[in-house]
Amino acid sequence: MMRRRDFLAEHIMDKSFVEDVMKSIAWTTLCGAVFAISMVTLKAGEYFQGFVIFGLFLMLSTLAVMYVALHVVIPMDSAMYPDDPFWDEKSQELKGVSKWSEAIKIFVTRHKIFYLSLSMGYFLYAHEVANYLAAKA
């Protein structure tokens, strides 16, 4: 019997998953940099260039969201087999705090809360990159 974290650990250790995570971090860094450039350009009074660069940011951030969702978040979710009835059976066998913590884990996994927060983490990272670059400009 494999545990949920075993499924997840096996998936995370896969070379292609690590590459996808690194690529998604690069995408979000690029989005943060382009956003910072567009804000600096707009503050400098060059509105046409600023809005063109901001449009590029919107296009790149849309592609980044799609990349993170398709190559990181959705595969992580399916690697845990959240719809497997084993997780409900396991929570029924436990008692006390363990039972409630397992029920919370199942809820967080099945309702995609963990993966939503993971996706938001990427873009909070991009926001910090943008703030850093804008402060340096």
Q: Do residues 50 and 76 lie in contact, with contact meaning Cβ atoms separated by under 8 Å?
A: no
pTM for this entry = 0.62
Model confidence over 53-97: pLDDT tens digits?
999 999 998 888 888 878 777 777 666 666 666 666 666 777 777
Distance CA 109, CA 84 (A): 12
Distance CA 117, CA 77 (A): 13
The tokens for 2 are 């494999």
